[in-house]
């Protein structure tokens, strides 16, 4: 009988884990993610294996996936009374291919008859939301990734208490991690006032009934009565909730038939969390501005990566000018290739990022992409006055997309996100003015100067890039 020493047994276990990882991981992960995880397991098997089991695959419970499928089916059926409001894209241009793609991915058809107001001022956007809540007569539905226990969180809580006191039906969905502080501070008081409050994707002992521990609901949506909806990047927190990084955001305030689509996303998430089905009326007043919009929901409960596929399609469909704004830029191979191809094809591609960043590892990984993009002709501008947390893009003069979607692997694969596509020259022109304002206070990165950065920075950026699948 072989007498194994502890050292020999540990060595055997290390190699057993490595061989099992080679067989298991590539069949359950995308190639880029598999490479990163195999590298980690190869170096530190006893640490890499438990980390992969916890975070290696963006799985959701079977029940959540089934509930999302039922919700998408209900969303398609619920739009039948709006058939006369369906917007038909022109035969040519980006919208001709984007609109049917988005409808197949996320279930929402493009609808006309909307008004879209782009709110670029942080305090002004918050004031508009509070005013809309104070004007509510029937219901207020809020779905937010982050709510802080600060003056802004308190102001929103106060507005909900006032609305509930008037007999308005108020419901609040908050991400269990991002909004932990606000949930702890305000949930008891809100419930006592009659507001229904639920955490999304709770962790702890319940996490196996929801999904992978770091999956998050990153959406920011408000729906007030049949009248108005808000969607964008702004959370329920003071602009300076991260010290040293005051935020700049962009929110779309929507009126018209698309408000029912925003409500359907809220109802879908409410159903995923509670099992309770809410009634969503498709009847909303048609607005004279007649803007055509389409809602894009995305997340791990869907069979495809809706946000990634839509963003990549828009990049490939751009013919003249493409502007992308994001605070976190850690693209997958498909997005990186799409940007490079667009620039090399003669499209003017402008990437606007924040010069400051509250995520150090993400910032290092982000820097690793600059050289190859600059070499292909992509322009990269770094906005300096604030932390540019806005997330939007514009394609030619035809399409604008605004919402919660970052250009990173987390938004594409792990987070529940939402974006609003606007097929309207007027909205695109207003977004172009906002982009121009960013560029006026931004510094364009120059390829020659970027190549002169210190070698230790290059090494650090490369190491951070290897961790892109863990972000």
pLDDT in tens, 175-189: 999 999 999 999 999
Q: How far apart are CA 145 and CA 249, in angstroms?
A: 14
The pLDDT value given to residue 57 = 67
Sign of CA dihedral 289, 399, 413, 406: negative
Q: Are strands 228-232 and 251-255 parallel, antiparallel or unpaired?
A: antiparallel
Q: Within the chain, which residues score under 50 in pLDDT? A: 1, 207, 471
Q: What per-residue confidence (pLDDT) applies to 10?
A: 72
Rg, the chain, Cα only: 23
Residue 67 to residue 64: CA distance in whole angstroms: 5
> Domains along the chain?
62-96+113-291 (3.30.870.10), 306-470 (3.30.870.10)
How far does Cα 140 stand from its chain's mean position?
A: 22
pTM of the model: 0.91
pLDDT in tens, 334-375: 999 999 999 999 999 999 999 999 888 899 999 999 999 999
Which helix (H) or strand (E) segment holds residue 418: the answer is strand 415-423
Task: Report which secondary-structure segment, H or E, holds 105.
Answer: helix 94-106
């Amino acid at each position: 009988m072989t007498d194994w020493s502890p050292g020999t047994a540990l060595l055997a276990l290390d190699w057993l884990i490595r061989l099992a990882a080679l067989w298991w991981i590539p069949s359950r992960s995308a190639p880029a993610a598999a490479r990163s995880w195999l590298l980690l397991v190869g170096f530190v098997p006893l640490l890499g294996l438990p980390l992969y089991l916890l975070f290696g695959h963006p799985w959701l419970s079977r029940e959540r996936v089934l509930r999302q499928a039922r919700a998408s089916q209900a969303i398609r059926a619920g739009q039948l009374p709006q058939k006369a409001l369906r917007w038909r894209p022109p035969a040519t241009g980006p919208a001709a291919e984007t609109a049917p793609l988005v409808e197949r991915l996320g279930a929402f058809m493009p609808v006309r008859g909307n008004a879209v107001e782009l709110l670029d001022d942080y305090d002004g956007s918050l004031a508009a939301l509070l005013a809309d809540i104070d004007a509510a007569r029937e219901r207020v539905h809020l779905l937010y990734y982050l709510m802080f226990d600060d003056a802004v969180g308190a102001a929103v809580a106060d507005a909900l208490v006032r609305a509930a006191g008037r007999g308005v039906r108020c419901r609040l969905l908050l991400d269990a991690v991002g909004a932990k502080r606000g949930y702890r501070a305000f949930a008891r008081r809100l419930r006592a006032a009659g507001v229904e409050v639920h955490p999304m994707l709770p962790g702890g002992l319940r996490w196996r009934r929801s999904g992978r521990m770091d999956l998050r609901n990153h959406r920011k949506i408000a729906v007030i009565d049949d009248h108005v909806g808000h969607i964008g990047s702004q959370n329920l927190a003071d602009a300076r909730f991260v010290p040293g990084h005051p935020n700049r955001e962009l929110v779309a305030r929507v009126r018209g038939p698309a408000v029912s689509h925003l409500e359907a996303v809220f109802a879908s998430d409410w159903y995923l969390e509670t099992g309770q089905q809410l009634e969503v009326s498709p009847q909303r007043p048609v607005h004279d501005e007649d803007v055509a919009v389409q809602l894009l929901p995305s997340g791990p409960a869907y069979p495809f990566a809706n946000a990634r596929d839509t963003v990549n399609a828009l990049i490939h469909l751009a013919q003249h000018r493409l502007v992308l704004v994001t605070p976190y830029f850690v693209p997958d191979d498909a997005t990186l290739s799409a940007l490079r191809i667009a620039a090399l094809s003669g499209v003017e591609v402008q990437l606007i990022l924040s010069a400051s960043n509250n995520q150090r590892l993400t910032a290092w990984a982000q820097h690793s992409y600059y050289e190859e993009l600059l070499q292909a002709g992509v322009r990269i501008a770094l906005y300096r006055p604030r932390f540019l947390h806005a997330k939007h893009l514009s394609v030619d003069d035809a399409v604008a997309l605004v919402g919660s979607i970052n250009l990173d692997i987390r938004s594409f694969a792990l987070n529940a996100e939402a974006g609003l596509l606007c097929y309207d020259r007027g909205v695109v022109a207003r977004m172009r003015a906002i982009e121009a304002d960013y560029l006026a206070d931004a510094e364009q990165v120059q390829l020659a100067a970027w190549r002169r950065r210190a070698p230790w920075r290059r090494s650090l950026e490369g190491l951070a890039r290897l961790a892109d699948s863990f972000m």
